[in-house]
Structures are given as C-alpha cells and as structure tokens.
Structure 1
Amino acid sequence: MWTRVAGAGLGIVLAAGGTAVADDGGPGFTFADPAITESSGLAASRAHEGVYWTHNDSAHSARLFAVDGTSGRTVATVTLTGVAGRDLEAVSVGPDGRVYVGDIGDNFGGNWPHVWIYAFPEPERLADATLTPAVYTVQYADGARDAESLAVHPETGRVYVVGKTEGGDGLYAGPPELSTAGVNTFERVADVDLWATDAAFSPDGSRLAVRSYFGGLMYAWEDGVPRRLGRLRVPIQQQGEAVAFTSDGRHLLYGSEGEGTEVRAEELDGDLRPVSVAQDTEPDAADPEGAAGGADRGAGGDDREADGDTVAIGGAVVALALAAWLVLRGRRRP
C-alpha cells in the first residue's frame, strides 16, 4: 500500500487505506498552559464564544480549564470539590448551560460497579473558581465497562456515553433527566464499531461524531437514533482522546494528550456536515464527488492533497505511526 505525504512540514492526517494527507489549516490552536498535560476531553463553551473546556486524564485533581481557541491560553481554571476525580475522560456542555464532566474511565477492565458524571453551571465571568458540582452516579444496564466518550444532546439535554472496547462497543443513553438521588442506569441503544476515545454532538444536534486513536465515524442523529454516514479524517496525534465541533458546526477539532499539544481542525464536507451548515453552504460545482458526500469514504474522507508537490512513499509512515502509538499505549497506566 502506497502512502502520500503532502508538503513537507505540514500537518498529516491518516486517510483511507493508510493514506496520509495534509489537513486544511482550519481554526485549530495549541495548548499554552503547562498544567494541561493529558487533555482527554474538549467542548465548545456556550456562554463564551471561542472558548473551549478541557481537562486532564486520571491521576490529576478534578480541574477544568477554559482555553482561548485562538491563543491557546488558559483564561480560567475551575476546580471541582467533593468529588472522586478518579478518571476524568470527557466533557460536554448541555442546553441547560451546564458543563458535564465524565468521570467514566475504567482502566481495570470494568471492575468498578459505578462511575460518575459531574455538572456545574458555566460561569458568567471567566475567572479561577472552586465549585461543588452536582454528582450523578452511573451504571450500565449490561454491566460495567471502560468509557472515554460523553456527549450531551444540545436540544434534548439527554446524556450519552460510548463504551471503549477494542473492536467496538455501544452507545448508551442515560435517563431523560439525570438524578442525584440513587443510580442512573444507561441503556445500550446502538452499536459503535470503533475503539472510541471521545464523542460530540454538532451544535444543531443533527450529527454525532465519534473518534478513536486513528479513525472516526460520523452519524446522522434521527429522533434519538444514530445512522452511520461515513468515516472522518482524523489526524495522527500523540494520543488522540478528544473531539469537539466548533461553535458554527463547520469543523471538528481533534485534541491529544501531551504537554503543549496542538488541537487540529478538519473542515466537514458533504453529508458529514450538520444540517444547519449544509443548508447554508453552496455545493462545490468543481468537486461534485465531495459535494455529494455521505459515502463511507474511509478514515480520510475525500483523500484531498495540499497545495504543492506530493511524493509517494511506502506504507512505512503508517507502520511508524502505529509503532509509536503502541509504545505510548505501553507507557499508559494499567
């Protein structure tokens, strides 16, 4: 299998059949805060345009960072008190104006009988603060599992979790309203054929994006039921564990663990675009295949190339990337 790399020094994404192509240079940024070392979730603020929430993975205090999406600087840090903070893996902002944080990781093969979701109101003013969130105890109807993906639907407010199992797992729906009293049981509503590390709804609620380390899937959201549309372009990253839509729904942002990591942007096209975006976007007459969209086009979508010369190289790029990932995986905590 041959691989293409476009333009030396450009960002690279893994596309269909192991093809590497440059990204489109969209609205990404780089984390400037040395305290952000294991960004494991990402979500656009609803209250503050251009701001994104993120957090570190387990073995850290339960802190949320509000990051400026242009400079990458942290503009506020929210510390959660009275919570376990055992393995924070995902963040999402609901239509009720609250930030939802998934303490849902389980690196011990589903040995924890329950996990937690925390929620707190988005601050009206961005400043460092210490808050006590609402705490929701969560269990899964078909047994405990590891999970790193949490998404709150922007219209219904219902909370969803995607299990993380090598080879694929399921999408789980919480009760219509979470309760701080007792246990909230999440029911499996669909299969997800991906080793999922994060998920996000589009701002209009019409799309659900799910990513893994090296791939991703986009679903149409139809009356609470996901319908698979196609594969996503996902960049090669150190340890990709975060995905979010930009507030206008036109791009997906991909984040990675590691200090000073770059949040990479990929513009959506064709049927992968949210309905609200597709309705105000004219089809590209010069690219009818891209405008048609909707096909299951492989992990890299339409296999675009950046401007400039491209060179063909062997599958060594993919092999090296996989080898690096395996080394990183081996270094992760048990």
Structure 2
Amino acid sequence: MRRPLALAAAALFALAPAAPASADPEAPDDGTGGLDYPRGGEGPEGSEIAFEFQDERIAESSGIAPSLRHEGVWWTHNDSGDFLPEVFAVNEEGETLATVTLNVELRDWEAISLAQGPGGEPEVFVGDIGDNFAGGWTEVRVYHFVEPEVLADVTLDPSVLTFTYEDGGRDAEGMMIDPRDGRLYVVSKEFAGGVYAAPENLDPEGGNVLSRIDSAPLFATDAAFSPDGTRYAIRTYWGVTIYDASDGVPGSSLGSFDLPEMEQGESVAFTPDGTALMAGTEGMNSPVWRVPLEGRKLPEMVAVEEEAAASDEAEEPESAGAGTSIGALPLILGGAAVAVVLIGGIVVLARRG
C-alpha cells in the first residue's frame, strides 16, 4: 500500500471508537502536519531483529514465507511500483541467494505463501491481490511455481489462478494456505475486512469465486498459517491476532498483541518450528523481526513436542539412578575384597593361637 493511502487510512482509523488508546495516531515528525498511522509498540518480551534485507532491490518487502525445501531460507517480493516481477530467496543473514523472475505483470503483489502444489511438490504462491483503487479490479490473480531444488537465478512462466469476490472487488494484502488441505484464503484490508475462502477444488483455467466466511481485523496487511495448520495469524500495521484453527477456518481468536514498531508493517509468517512469528516491513534494508509465541498461541505441534521432551526428562532420573548403581559397583566389590582379606587374616591368627 502506498504511503498516501496509508496516511488517509490512519485518518479514518482515528475516528474509529473501538481503537485502543495505544494505537492512537500521532503527528509525524516529518513536518507534514498530517496524521500518521500507528506503527506498533515494543512487542512481546524476547522480540528481536532476526535479519535485515541486504539486497537494494528489495525496497518494499510486502510478504515473507519460509522455504519448504531449504532450511533457513525465506522468500519475499516487492509491493507494486517501479519493480521487476521478481521473487527473492534470502538466507538468515538477509543475503539474497536466488532471484526468480516471473514472466507476468507485477500489478500489486501483496502476499506470498508456500504449500504443496497440485503435483505434490512444494510450490511458491505469489498473491497479486492488492488494489489501491478500492476494489477497482474485476479480478485478482495468484501466481505459483515449483520451489526450485537448487537456488539459482532463473526466469520462468508461472501457473496462474484467477479469482473474483462474491461480494465485489476488494483491496487485500493477506493470503494464507492451509497446509492440511491446501485451501487458499484471502484477507481483505478494509474497515469491515473479511476472510475469504477459495473453493476446495480450484479451476486452473477458469475463474474461482472467493466467499466471505468471517470478519478480519482493521486494515489487515498479511496472514499466515502455522506449519501444522492449527493456528493462523492476521497482522495489521501495528499488531497481530492469533486464531485457533484446530477445527478449521474460521477459527476462534486466542488474543491479540502489539508487534514491534515498524516503518510500515506488511508481512507475517510462522517460523518452521512454530514457536515464533516473523514480521517484516517495507523500506530499504528493512528488518525482519522474530516475535516469540507462548501459551495457547503456540501451535499444537509445539505442545506435542514439549510433552515428548517432558516425558524424556521424566525418564532421566531413572537412568541416572541406574548409572549411580553401576558407578558404585567397584566400591562395593572393593569393600567385599577387603572384608575377605581381613576375615582370612583373623582365621589364620586364630589357628596359630
């Protein structure tokens, strides 16, 4: 989303009676005299910058998602503007490892997700779902291609999925794909934003209708599922809401919290182990924050792993006890030998007497 639109959105946000006090717009320091949109707070304890993008071509990172093939690799892309239609693979230091150029139009790319594709291989899905004309586009598109097994610069023709909304055009910046069944969801960015579900079976050639199934937080800028699909997150400029999707989507809210302050927060993703969120922002050399999760906000996969670890720890004292017995055995045998020698000596002395 362009900054003028963000400023206009913030002015409207200031009039919303439900807005929390901590998110009130403030007069910016740039001397414009206008209102600035909220940028977040300190974030949960333990929040830290994971890395910063090093590539000067990544100036408006608008989405982020972890690789399904390469450990420690993240995919990102630019927003609309004077950019090439490129998707970047970066490492945990923010260095670009590969650039995938798509032979398509970059109209308003806003989101990226990875999931198993129709052919059973991991695929990268890029959401051309933004609309700075307030729903002026009659249709939106999602491009997808098989995630490369080898990270190298390449140009390719992606597959294309076409979507329309059942209730008219929408501006959207959030897209997520349920890893359990591959169903795609789009989250619109409006005052009365909504979560829209794609059909269970997508038509790769024709149009697909997105159906509204739930409401969404004010001005949602991205969305993502946990690796096991039991949680999903919807972020805004200033915060994030976590949902329990154990029984499917829509899920029940598990609560919201501030994200660390960012210039223009645009992206969110779960870490591959599900223990934290990665949250990014636009700007040159922009940071990506790692934000830890705790309690019920953690995916079920984490709870299972923690239970297994606790079970292993519970067995350790038993093993330690066994080790102690084995370690004491030489002492016991040594003591017995001494006793035998002493008794033998006494017997000999008794016979001499």
Task: Please state which band the TM-score falls in when normalised by the shorter chain.
Answer: 0.7 to 0.9
Q: Secondary structure at the match of 1:235?
A: coil
Conserved in 1, the CA contact under 8 Å of 2:174 and 2:222? yes
Q: Secondary structure at the match of 1:281?
A: helix
Provide the residue aligned with 2:218 in structure 1: 194
Quick one: percent identity of the two aligned structures?
Answer: 46
Residue 209 (structure 1) aligned to one of 233, 236, 249: 233
Letter aligned with residue 97 of structure 2: V
Q: Deviations over 1:157-213 (max 9, x none)?
A: 111000000x34110010113222111111111111331000000000000100000
Conserved in 2, the CA contact under 8 Å of 1:32 and 1:72? yes
Provide the residue aligned with 2:133 in structure 1: 108
Q: Secondary structure at the match of 1:279?
A: helix
The aligned runs of 1:143-154 (5 Å cut-off) are 143-154=168-179
Provide the residue aligned with 1:261 in structure 2: 286
How far the C-alpha of 1:237 sits from its partner, in A, is: 0.3
Structure 1-normalised TM-score? 0.76
- Between the aligned partners of 2:237 and 2:106, the Cα distance in structure 1 is 23
Conserved in 2, the CA contact under 8 Å of 1:95 and 1:156? no
Q: Secondary structure at the match of 1:197?
A: strand
Q: Deviations over 1:52-110 (max 9, x none)?
A: 000000022211000102x11000000000x2220000000012311000000000111
Q: Deviations over 1:211-246 (max 9, x none)?
A: 000111111112333111100331110110000111
- Between the aligned partners of 1:182 and 1:73, the Cα distance in structure 2 is 38
Number of residue-to-residue matches in the alignment:
266
1:90 maps to 2:99? no
Give 1 or 2: higher helix fraction.
2
CA RMSD of aligned residues (A): 1.8
Residue 183 (structure 1) aligned to one of 191, 207, 211: 207
Residue 133 (structure 1) aligned to one of 158, 178, 200: 158
How far the C-alpha of 1:144 sits from its partner, in A, is: 0.3
Residue 32 (structure 1) aligned to one of 42, 49, 54: 54
Conserved in 1, the CA contact under 8 Å of 2:80 and 2:106? yes
Moved over 6 A (4+): none
Q: Deviations over 1:1-53 (max 9, x none)?
A: 899xxxxxxxxx945xxxx4675155711111111000000000001111000
Higher relative CO (Cα under 8 Å, sequence separation at least 6) belongs to 1
Structure 2-normalised TM-score? 0.72
| Bigger Rg over Cα | 2
Closer, same or farther: CA 27–251 of 1 in aligned 2, 3 Å: farther
- Between the aligned partners of 1:54 and 1:237, the Cα distance in structure 2 is 17
Conserved in 1, the CA contact under 8 Å of 2:44 and 2:258? no
Provide the residue aligned with 2:89 in structure 1: 66
1:117 maps to 2:139? no
Letter aligned with residue 237 of structure 2: Y
The aligned runs of 1:72-83 (5 Å cut-off) are 72-81=94-103, 83=104
Which sections of structure 1, spanning at least 5 residues, go unmatched? 4-12, 283-334
Which sections of structure 2, spanning at least 5 residues, go unmatched? 1-20, 24-38, 308-353
Give 1 or 2: higher strand fraction.
1
Conserved in 2, the CA contact under 8 Å of 1:114 and 1:144? yes
